[in-house]
Amino acid sequence: MDFIKNGFTISTEKDKLDIDVIHSFLNRTYWAEGISKEIIRRSIEGSLCFGVFENDKQIGFARMITDKATFAYLADVFIIEEYRGRGLSKWLMEVIMSHPDLQGLRRMVLVTKDAHGLYKQFGFTPLINVDRWMHILDLDVYKR
């Protein structure tokens, strides 16, 4: 499925994704520093992915880890630095939130350090009942 706007394309076709671009960006982030290309490939296989392109050049990415029925987790959202400030993150979120496989879900979550303003525009709010949430977190897993 492709969406086109102002010379840019968002595609959900995994074969269009440029693993090198995704790896290069994610490997520099606070949430995925040290991640391998193999882990990125496996994460893409198990997710609904959204690639952002200018012509054939990948300039952004996001993925939803979802059962397409009750739950989704938004991860690895980015637009390459030189393309920021053009409304592409907002358009990417519009495409994600309107995707047919993500309608009627009971819960959608994400984790962000600094993009709260973007996600609030799409209905995301801080967690409630935080004391009910549990997790296993291994911050060094990609560095081993």
pLDDT tens sequence across 48-93: 999 999 999 999 999 999 999 999 999 999 999 999 999 999 999 9
Please tell me the class of the 2-143 domain: alpha beta
97 — pLDDT class (breaks 50, 70, 90): very high
pLDDT over 90 at 107, yes or no: yes
User: To the nearest whole percent, how much of the chain has pLDDT over 90?
Assistant: 83
Give burial (CB, 10 Å; 0-12/13-18/19+) of 69.
exposed
Rounded CA separation 22/36 (Å) = 11
In this prediction the pTM is 0.91
